Amino acid sequence: MSVRNIFVVGLDEHNRKRLEHLRGAENYRFYGVIEPSEVYDTEIFPIEEMLSRAETLLKGFSEPIEAIVGYMDFPVSTMLPLLCERLGTRSTSLTSLLKCEHKYWSRLVQHEVIADYIPRFTAFDPFDALALQHIGEAGLYFPFFVKPIKSSGSRLGFRIESPEDFAYAVARLCEGIGTISEPFNYVLEHAKLPDDVRSVDGGHCMAEEIIGGWQCTLEGYVFQGNVVPYGIVDSIRYPQVLSFFYYRYPSILPANIQEKMQALTRQIMSHIGYDNAAFNVEYFWDEVQNRIWLLEINTRIAQSHCDLFEKIDGVSHQQVTVDLALGQLPDMPFRQGIFKVAAKFFYRVFFVDATVSQVPNAEEIETLQHAFPGTMITIQVDIGMRLSSLPEQDSYSYALAYVWMGADDEVALEENYARLAEQLHFAFEDIVA
């Protein structure tokens, strides 16, 4: 078989090595397009300029381009349909992607087919002095949750218990929403939107009824119209806060609940018309009411889950992304890894802000990784860094390190992490508690 050229938006060395272990990778040659620092470690996204540069580079490539892929959230996921259309490579349509990523449009479409599984919702303009009044007129009352129409991770998401909470959240939203609304609006200009969606651009926000319970993420793909869920990852939060503690795979949700989530996923993704691309859907299961809620749909694999699938199934689920972009049925193995359970842990601090004065050094990290075989630790901060400068953080804490671990059972997994976490030594100055 001839070598197939695959371009990856935001490719870094860590993911290059992972991609080179995919099934069939001996026949693939991976190239980066757009530096990872431009789409990941920043909150400035000049999408129009990045697309122009990428198009020039790709059209100047002297060999055939078989696929253009990405594994990151905004702006990469949103840019891909535009870039693929310009280069003639495979991707789901921009319309189907926006029916997932534009949170208000997504809720409208979900309401058409699975209304009983989504919360009450409304859109609002954070710059409107009467926004809280309009939210009440839409039938939403305290407590409720607010977030931008388009965001990344848990950034600028707030639980609202009172008018004071809303005022604080709106101030934060008005201050920070422009970094995503402006580039997202550029993408919206390229799509045919219904009138009721076009009037709700990237500068708007969502207010939603509070939902909760056991949170999980269903990973799936669509190939030639066939929706295929292939794994569910549990999302465990720190007690009493919204911040994630760890992601665990495989899920230990009851089988009937997993099956219902799979059925809902097939229904909504088929209705949207999403095709020939990977996705994931976040759900809650309210165990008390035995009720399933759809939280949101993401138009990519979850990069945080790559190592989990590799540990459990034998290969990163980037396999799905690459195979689909090449026009072939994903060759994803099942339970062929060396561990029975795996997790990504978030080592966090719950400060308002602080300056980092000490981090574990490379030798300490290497020692810990050797002590816990299969473990990977990535430190997210440097000495002298102000925590508030970290991108992609939730509104309540800062993730100082990510720790991927595998084990033979859940008890061993949690015990091993607790022992490891005790040996991760950070220190801070100028703490704002």
Q: Are residue 89 and residue 164 in the same domain, yes or no?
A: no
Per-residue pLDDT of the chain (433 residues; tens, 9 = 90+): 689 999 999 999 999 999 999 999 999 999 999 999 888 767 788 999 999 999 999 999 999 999 999 998 889 999 999 999 999 999 999 999 999 999 999 999 999 999 999 999 999 999 999 999 999 999 999 999 999 999 766 678 899 999 999 999 999 999 999 988 999 999 999 999 999 999 999 999 999 999 999 999 999 999 999 999 999 999 999 887 878 999 999 999 999 999 999 999 999 999 999 999 999 999 999 999 999 999 999 999 999 999 999 999 999 999 999 999 999 999 999 999 999 999 999 999 998 999 999 999 999 999 999 999 999 999 999 999 999 998 878 878 999 999 999 999 999 999 999 999 999 999 999 999 8
Distance CA(116)–CA(130), nearest Å, equals: 29
The span from the CA of 337 to the CA of 324, in Å, is 22
Q: Please, where are the H alpha helices in 60-150?
A: 76-87, 94-101, 103-114, 131-137
Alpha-carbon distance of 198 to 173, in angstroms, equals: 20
**Distinct helix (H) and strand (E) counts, the chain:** 15, 17
Residue 235 to residue 201: CA distance in whole angstroms? 30
Is position 131 within any domain?
yes
Dist. CA 231–CA 240, nearest whole Å: 27
Q: Is residue 423 part of a domain?
A: yes
With respect to residue 173, please indicate whether it lies within any of the assigned structural domains: yes
Q: Looking at 210, 231, 253, which one is the last position of a domain?
A: 210
Q: Answer whether residue 54 is part of any domain.
A: yes
pLDDT digits (tens, 9 = 90+) for 133-148: 999 999 999 999 999 9
Query: Of the residues 145, 176, 210, which one is the last residue of a structural domain?
Result: 210
C-beta of residue 369 within 8 angstroms of C-beta of residue 376 = yes
Rounded (5°) CA angle 313-265-410:
40
- Is residue 408 within 8 A of residue 311, CB to CB? The reply is no
- pLDDT tens digits, one per residue of 75-113: 999 999 999 999 999 999 999 999 999 999 999 999 999
- DSSP bridge partners of 231: 219
Domain boundary among 194, 210, 226: 210
Domain count along the chain: 3
Q: Which domain holds residue 353?
A: 341-432
Distance CA 179, CA 171 (A): 15
Q: What is the dihedral of CA 302, 307, 309, 312, to 10 degrees?
A: -150
Read off the pTM: 0.94
8 A C-beta contact, residue 294 and residue 110: yes
89 and 49 assigned to the same domain? yes
Indicate which CATH number applies to the domain containing 29.
3.40.50
